[in-house]
Structure 1
Amino acid sequence: MKTLFKSTLMLLLMLPMSFFAQESVSGVVSESASGLPVPGANVIVKGTTNGTVTDFDGNYTITNVQPGDVIVFSFLGFATQEIPYDGQTTINVQLDEDAATLEEVVLIGYGSTSEQDATGSVEKVSSESFNKGAVVSPEQLLSGKSAGVRITPGGGAPGEGGQIRIRGGSSLSGNNDPLIVVDGIPLDQRGVQGVRNQLNSINPNEIEDFVILKDAAATSIYGSRASNGVILITTKTGKKNSPLRLEYDLKVSAGQIIDKVDNLDAQEFRALIESTPGTDPNLLGEYDTDWQDEIYQTSIGAIHNLTASQGFDNFSYRVNYNHTSQTGVLKTDVYERNALNIALNQDLFDNHLKLALTTKGIVDENRFADQGAIGAAVAFDPTQPVYDEDLPFGGYFEHNTMSNDQVIPQLQATRNPLALLETLDGRGKTMRNITNLNAEYKFHFLPELKFNVNAGFDYAENEGHNYRPRYAAGNGLYIQGREYTQEYSGINRNTLLDFYFTYKTELEALDTEMDLTAGHSYQEFYIENNNEYTVADDPGYRVEPSVINRNALESYFARASFDIANKYLISGSVRRDGSSRFGADNKWSTFPSASVGWKIHNEEFLLNSNTLSQLKLRAGYGVTGNQEIGINYGYMGIYSPSVGPARYQFGNQFYNTLRPEEFDADLKWEELQTYNVGVDFGFFNNRLSGTVEAYYRETEDLLATVPVPAGANLSDLLVTNVGETVSKGVEVGLNGTLIQKEDFNWDMNYNITFQDLEITRLSLGENPDFFIPQGGISGGVGNNIQIWKEGYDPSTFFVFRQVYNEAGQPIEGAYADVNGDNEITEADKVPYKKANPDYFMGFTNTLNYKNLDFSFTFRGSFGNYMYNNTQSGNGFVTAGTVTPQDYYSNLNSNVLESNFVNNQLFSDYYIQKADFVKLDNISLGYLFPGEKVDFRTSLTATNLWTITDYDGLDPEISNGIDNNFYPRSTSVVLGLNLIF
């Protein structure tokens, strides 16, 4: 409208003299190399805001052009062209690739490089390759797109994040998540309290690209936090010399669960109870209730994005408002986000000073459902009704008994699943701001030298409550008849100040390009949380004091890179980190790296090849660290005050106490050494390109929580440095343009990763049989199904080997006598299978025909196993029939196959193969170009289809234990996008 108004006003004022002078011009902008159209290219009259952008087919029309004007054609990655206008009605332009521009496309931490000059394992995933649909959490955009990166979606809760693993992780008790850097700010790896996923604060619609740093040669510039890889997220900004652009994007979604836990229905349950000796069928009801149907619903959601952007010669801006609202498939579960994203860029002093400001203001609101209802729906008697107005539980049926002439709930019975959901008012609100100001100054007297300052903060405040009314039977902490409220609040503060110099120059005498970086970084993290519980008739029964957690990291870093004769690459970096989490003797550590590369395609014997367009060999070595151990002062003796009922009684008086905590004065960093070799290749002008990499990693001084001898410390468990792990793998990534025509394109991406992780040392002693139980399961108190043991993957299961009869049926209580002592004891348990896959893959295809686009993504995982705890916990007769009260619990349908009467929790019968292939994402879209408005509509389906032999709810659960899992939904998304 602004352009139209200005041009109309000028037309009225100058009509007599310009009637024959003002013209319009149209044409097509295409690539000179391929002849393909360039959509989104900027076409602007130089020195004005009169301009437009090309449509999907590269077409443009620009009006109010006068003879003598200069029309500027520009697009990222191509050389800008300026063409004088002398009255022609058609101007077709072919843009040449700008080699200088294309080289500066990959961030590597405190700088950038080109893909062909990178010597470390670096991969960029741009917005064109992202997964489509109603994406709430940013990591969903990346799933299946990169070799070596495995993203396991969380449960189906709205806004729930996924687990990100780069090359499998490297720690045991330490954090295995990668370091996430958003617009230059490293996020706190512990997350932000009060939210389902801290990455939800980053609007997926505003992400320009991800850059994944995988090996130590690429990550060691981040030193102590880089053992598990680094993901750099860059958000969108305005473009220079671009006209005002308004965009509205809407995505409406609906989802349903695709499967339920296979339980006995009411008829099967009645038959089992009636046929089981010692049971009383009179305790059963007369109903046929599917409790899983009662707690699940169709989820609905909507994502709105309204964006304005514009660019001038030395200033650009982008403003985005986002509103996201989504309900869960579990009733009462709701997520809502309101966010404002602003990006400002200003060039001053003839482009010698560049200022960039990004700020993200987010209000994240949740109503949290009681996920205990999922397990309750699996276990509740299907012959009982949902409601009973005659009982004093708010109209809900509950298993009950009499006490002092009052009806009270059976204390050990499962609670009514729907009542658990509908009687809980659990709400939380988090207000967060992530702001970063970057200043880059190019020295006037030495333009090759630049000084960068990066100042940022990530600040969040949260508050919320959990409330259950007096009548609720399932109030969690207190017996029925006592109303309780939990109120909580907290602060997360993350402040950053970086400054560094970069010096890039060409040493002509040596035919070498040199790139040097050196700088300093300081980052401080502060967490405060408060909890207060109040109970009706007993105010202040339990009050939790404020808990403050604070630590800081100071760093010095440097990097040097050399490109010799555009053929030979040498790069090295070093970072010196000091952490407040370790004592004086271990506070500082150094993390070096070195890497080399050989651009073979630039050698004389390949320089004129018509087939091979790229061939580069590279190798690297580096050391990184891990300080995320979950505690801040594990190296020093501290005392914790008692809270609530944890007080000591003298007579009738209760006194607070101070409790000494366990500590290890020699606690220090985990250190990870990585060796990496890779080859990058491209054929036929890179229409077929790819990467093959192999890596080997050793983690030393492994941080783990281990048992210690009685009296050796102040606890029987201690976080200390105890061992080593070794991981290795091979990654293959392929990209292909299978068809490249004027009206039709077909692009393909395939990646596959083979990996292996093994604990090579664990105990402080030399006992080869030492192990640490892991992986808690339901069905008993303190039971674990996994094991940490030398020679095995950390996700290995620890079980008895089941014995079967001739018909292939498991024999209850019959296990293999592994040690041959003629009795079955704990000594006969063996490590067996593992939850981590042997290999996993992603496969994406994108097709475009004129204005029609179609894409789909498959993911697969192979060699991984699952412990089916839904079967083992409820898949035997006495799980539902032997109780001290007068009620029965439902059973898993597997009981009809196994015929187990008593629990067989540690039988390998429940370790099941969980290979899968998923059709993760499929999308169809069409663009309707217009003179004033471009309109695009799309239809997307997610989590559409799974091929697996696993018997449980979902073969993809991060810890390998299937129990009380929040089911993921299959969603259908309608998208509408308008560009003005």
Structure 2
Amino acid sequence: MNTRILYAPNRLKYTNLVIATLLTLCCLSISFSSLGQEGGFTISGTVTSAETGETLPGVSIVYKGSPEGAGTDVNGRYSLKVPSGEGVLVFSYVGFQTAEVAIGKRSEINVSLEASVTALDEIVVVGYGTQQREDLTGAISSVSAEDLQNQPLVSADQLLQGKAAGVQISNSSGAPGGRVNIRIRGASSINAGNEPLFVIDGIPVYNSSKDPGGTSYGTFTPTNALASINPNDIASVEILKDASATAIYGSRGSNGVVIITTKRGKGDKVKVNYSGYYGTQKLVRKLDLMNGSEHAGFLNDWAAANELTQPFADPAAIGEGTDWQEEIFNSAPIQNHQVSISSGRGNTNYYISGNYFNQQGIALNSGLERYAIRVNVDNKINDKLTFSQSLTYNRTINRSVPVNSAGSDNIRSVADKVYATSPTIAVYDENGEYIEDWYGATKAENPVASLLTIRNKVNGDNLLGNLSLDYEIAEGLSFKTLLGVNLLNRSNEEYYPRETTYIGGLLGGLGMVSDRRITNILNENILRYSKTINNVHDLEVMGGFTWQTEKTTGASTQPSGFPDDRLGVNSIGSSTGVPEIASSVNEWALASWLGRVNYQYNRKFLLTATFRADGSSKFGSGNKWGYFPSVALGYRLSEENFMKSLEMVDDLKIRASYGLTGNQEIGSYQSLARLVTSNIYIIDNQLVSGASQVGLANRELKWEKAMQWDVGLDLSLFKNRLRMVVDYYEKNTEDLLFTINLPAYSGFSSALYNTGELENKGIEINLEADIFTREFGWNVSANYARNRTEVTSLGKSASTSLFIGYPPGVIRGYLYDGVFNDQSEIDAQTAQEGIAPGDAKYRDVNGDGELDADDRVILGNPLPDYIFGFRNNFSYKGLTLSVFIQGEIGMDSFNGISSFDPSTGSSNKSRTLLNRWTPDNSGSDIPRAGVSNWLSNSSYMLEDRSYIKIRNIQLGYDIPANIVPWAGSANIYLSGQNLVTFTDFPGYDPDGGRHYPTARTIILGVNLGF
């Protein structure tokens, strides 16, 4: 099978221009630095270890602000020529803290370097606390701020793609602000939520869309709830994966937990930083669709097959026709600017930032703006009491376009407008008016006209923050109380004009005005005690009570019948249609008791035990409380005497965990009999509002339970230069929150029950190596994950789309066997009737002489066989280069694009159909135009979504201080995102939503410190 490279040639003109600019700056900087060193001043000395006094060979010494440097010899000696007797020398060596020493006109400078904090000593944020990495017993992956910076993405979840083993992230839409789907160790549920819980500065947030709904005829892209969080403010991200790590979050931990910690003030100086970039976005690749004359020929064949008059006398005369992809998708700018000020001086540290982000969409009339302010403050009031604050406010303005087709295609997505529109038609007629109708089209509208005139704007305001007090009661004993809020206000305005949209023309203009207000309040009270006994026993005990509640109110009106398009929803009072009016309120609450014990014996044996009890308003009266325990053990073999003789081993730890987590992500009131009041009755010739029951009460409704065990190995070698983490896990989810069909005599079609079981099991590997650590640096990191998901029981469900032993969503259909080339092939079989030469041939799998539902087989798996990420970081003096590759292999899907369907004539077609069966091309395996026995769920429409992406390449340069003396630090960089994709997928992007393609982005940015 041939592999295609998704490539846009015009990318080179932008790339070459920016690269030339960057290289010119680099050359000028190096030249100026060299000129400044004429005359020179020589410094020499010896570098030793502060801990042992031994000399250190291979230490890097650089004159700050200059690319010139030197290294120590085998005896720890160095000699370096600098421009003058003033300035600063920077000493750096792997395993030791970097030291900066003022020259002060000295000709000999001897330095002792302090040992640095290793990766094993790194502080990791866990649920309701922190731990050193070497003390972890759970499966936790970390992503640092350095891994997230300088990338043109709007939300934090997009930045995590490919950076942690076992975390699969896919784009549901390439639209600005569009959502992504995140799966940690596979999907754990069928009908309840599968997204992880996000904890942002201590506040739990579930990443579902917070936008008010759109019209009843279609929908625009729901804004990513995390798009309101500025990625530039993030200090670290921890991904909690096994039950030992996630059980502390109880009912919301079964899908994993992502803890986001934002930046705080540190250091003795006031630091001011500016970071910004500007770039361009472009469609990654165009679909290979028919041009005007080719599609005219197809339409003639289709008309003939349906015994209709052929619409085009001379298809060749039409020529290329209209390329609707060129008309709809354009180059679009993207920019980001941030200023921050921070300090850790005295008893108060603070971090304050302001951010502006603007991403114009590559589709006409789409884009997202964000304004963000953050204020993080920590104040030590006295020796025992500390006050902390984390507060951010964000304003988002999302100009959206349809990304999902809905309402029986009354409103088509952006990409569907491309597929559904014939290239035989021009954008404008001879009078300069939009052309609105053409042969074979149903529900026709001019894509350019509709996109430019549809008005949709979602405004969002989000205040997220907390206030906390931490009081030290006695030595080792402290109490912390926290009050958090997450306030959201979303408003949506849509208008579909009468003249340029199908649905607008049908209804005389269609509008929508809707609002949603969400108030989420959190209170946490945590008591913590820690003590070390005889330098052998280390004990930490944590316990507490938390409470969280959320209330959502909404209101909407959907008017139609507007006399004029120009004012749209600003003139609702003039509409003549009967408006659809709705309002709603939704509340839920969660109360929790939680506790954790961490114990170490002699730094060798580790124990972590957690317990959480959650009471949720979402479940039946007798099942509101769920109980979620976990236990984990660790054994650090490297602390054994027989291991200490192996100098290459820095740390070797084996660990195992088992625990129970839950899932409550269903709608509120699902256990109750619910009523609707939208029914209208006629009583005594009067219209009377009434109520009817729409939900069957189920007071037995309770938590999904996910039982998970994990075994892992953590290994560090060669003075921490090679690090490896390996995990194997199995997760079994029972009492699935499952919507099952009910018999008709019940009066209801379906209800939510606890039934069925699902299993996930897999392996994860993380590798990281510092290959070169001196003047030339090379760091490599890689991760690999393989997960298998199976339905192990359907319980009470009689589902026809789920199969025991296979994953949810498995692809089932008919086997396509080519084309009936002539009448003799038709006469030789009995399974298919009423067919003609050129029609599709499907396999009679069971050999009973009939083609029916019993001949369907499993065709493909929508889940990947494995996923991986691979990053290389290079550095040489002031230059850095980062290359990040990411991929997902072995996943399938049905091709839902009408362009590959030869049976219809209402859309443009893929150029692969140029090789369709005709009497003159009877050897083709592609059916004829207008094929009469077309089945869309056959292997013909199966597509391989495997891909390998060069996700990001970034080239940076630290500008010497003598070039920018007014700045403490300056870095310029060129970054490319979503650059090249290797795939067999025939659509826009195997990793993006098919309704709005993803873009290739090239940016030029700068970071300045003062």
TM-score w.r.t. the length of structure 2 is 0.82
What pairs up with 1:566-965 in 2 under 5 angstroms? 566-629=603-666, 631-642=667-678, 647-650=680-683, 653-663=686-696, 664-712=698-746, 714-741=747-774, 743-764=775-796, 770-772=798-800, 787-804=801-818, 812-870=839-897, 873-880=898-905, 888-897=906-915, 898-900=926-928, 901-902=931-932, 903-930=934-961, 931-933=965-967, 934-957=969-992, 964-965=994-995
Candidates 336, 355, 373, aligned match of 2:387: 355
SS in 1 for 2:854: helix
Equivalent-residue separation in structure 1 for 2:46 and 2:593 (angstroms): 51
What pairs up with 1:23-422 in 2 under 5 angstroms? 94-97=112-115, 103=121, 105-130=123-148, 132-193=150-211, 196-241=223-268, 243-276=269-302, 277=304, 278-282=307-311, 288-350=321-383, 352-371=384-403, 372-388=413-429, 395-399=433-437, 412-422=442-452
Equivalent-residue separation in structure 1 for 2:951 and 2:719 (angstroms): 31
- 2:788 maps to amino acid: D
Aligned partners of 1:30 and 1:37 also within 8 Å:
no
Shift of 1:38: 11
Deviates more, 1:661-670 or 1:314-323: 661-670
- 1:433 maps to amino acid: L
Aligned partners of 1:27 and 1:60 also within 8 Å:
no
Aligned partners of 1:348 and 1:354 also within 8 Å:
yes
Equivalent-residue separation in structure 1 for 2:802 and 2:713 (angstroms): 35
**Map of 2:36 onto structure 1:** none
- CA change 1:271–1:471 in 2 (3 A) is closer
Equivalent-residue separation in structure 1 for 2:257 and 2:887 (angstroms): 23
Shift of 1:515: 0.8
Equivalent-residue separation in structure 2 for 1:635 and 1:803 (angstroms): 48
Equivalent-residue separation in structure 2 for 1:86 and 1:248 (angstroms): 30
SS in 2 for 1:223: helix
Deviates more, 1:583-592 or 1:257-266: 257-266
SS in 1 for 2:644: coil
- CA change 1:792–1:811 in 2 (3 A) is farther
Shift of 1:852: 0.4
- CA change 1:75–1:588 in 2 (3 A) is farther
Shift of 1:29: 11
Shift of 1:971: 0.9
- Paired residue total: 879
- 1:542 maps to amino acid: P
The runs of 5 or more residues in structure 1 that have no matched partner are: 1-24, 42-56, 66-72, 402-409, 773-786, 881-887
**Map of 1:516 onto structure 2:** 541
Shift of 1:417: 0.9
Structure 1 residue 502 corresponds to structure 2 residue 531 = no
- 1:641 maps to amino acid: T
SS in 1 for 2:736: strand
- CA change 1:147–1:481 in 2 (3 A) is closer
SS in 2 for 1:869: coil
Aligned partners of 1:157 and 1:328 also within 8 Å:
yes
- 1:788 maps to amino acid: L
- CA change 1:306–1:839 in 2 (3 A) is same
Aligned partners of 1:139 and 1:161 also within 8 Å:
no
Shift of 1:83: 11
**Map of 1:486 onto structure 2:** 512
- 1:399 maps to amino acid: D
Equivalent-residue separation in structure 2 for 1:92 and 1:849 (angstroms): 24
Structure 1 residue 471 corresponds to structure 2 residue 479 = no
SS in 2 for 1:303: strand
Shift of 1:94: 4.5
Aligned partners of 1:187 and 1:494 also within 8 Å:
no
Aligned partners of 1:533 and 1:540 also within 8 Å:
no
What CA deviation, in whole Å up to 9, does each residue of 1:230-249 have, x standing for no partner?
Answer: 010011111042x1211111
What CA deviation, in whole Å up to 9, does each residue of 1:353-388 have, x standing for no partner?
Answer: 222211101010011123423202211121112123
Aligned partners of 1:193 and 1:490 also within 8 Å:
yes
Equivalent-residue separation in structure 2 for 1:639 and 1:485 (angstroms): 27
The runs of 5 or more residues in structure 2 that have no matched partner are: 1-42, 65-79, 213-221, 404-412, 563-573, 826-836, 916-925
Aligned partners of 1:812 and 1:904 also within 8 Å:
no
What CA deviation, in whole Å up to 9, does each residue of 1:586-643 have, x standing for no partner?
Answer: 10010000000001111111124211111100000000000002x211111121111x
**Map of 1:11 onto structure 2:** none
- CA change 1:387–1:83 in 2 (3 A) is closer
- 1:364 maps to amino acid: T
Equivalent-residue separation in structure 2 for 1:450 and 1:104 (angstroms): 23
What CA deviation, in whole Å up to 9, does each residue of 1:663-717 have, x standing for no partner?
Answer: 32211110000010000001101111111110001000011222122123x4212
Shift of 1:92: 6.5
Shift of 1:200: 1.2
SS in 1 for 2:770: strand
Aligned partners of 2:60 and 2:92 also within 8 Å:
no
- 2:517 maps to amino acid: I
Aligned partners of 2:207 and 2:226 also within 8 Å:
no
- CA change 1:31–1:282 in 2 (3 A) is farther
What CA deviation, in whole Å up to 9, does each residue of 1:97-124 have, x standing for no partner?
Answer: 4669974601111111111110010121
Deviates more, 1:483-492 or 1:202-211: 483-492
Equivalent-residue separation in structure 2 for 1:491 and 1:859 (angstroms): 38
Shift of 1:207: 0.6
What CA deviation, in whole Å up to 9, does each residue of 1:300-352 have, x standing for no partner?
Answer: 111001111122121111111100011111110010000001111111212x2
Equivalent-residue separation in structure 2 for 1:455 and 1:174 (angstroms): 28
SS in 2 for 1:657: strand
Shift of 1:890: 2.4
Equivalent-residue separation in structure 1 for 2:375 and 2:95 (angstroms): 24
- CA change 1:676–1:172 in 2 (3 A) is same
Considering only aligned residues, what root-mean-square deviation do their CA atoms show, in Å?
A: 3.5
**After TM superposition, what 4+ stretches of structure 1 lie above 4 angstroms from structure 2?**
25-41, 59-65, 73-95, 98-102, 283-287, 537-540, 805-811
> Greater relative contact order (Cα 8 A, min sep 6): structure 1 or 2?
2
Q: Quick one: percent identity of the two aligned structures?
A: 31
- CA change 1:224–1:90 in 2 (3 A) is farther
SS in 2 for 1:771: coil
Deviates more, 1:714-723 or 1:285-294: 285-294
Deviates more, 1:27-36 or 1:308-317: 27-36
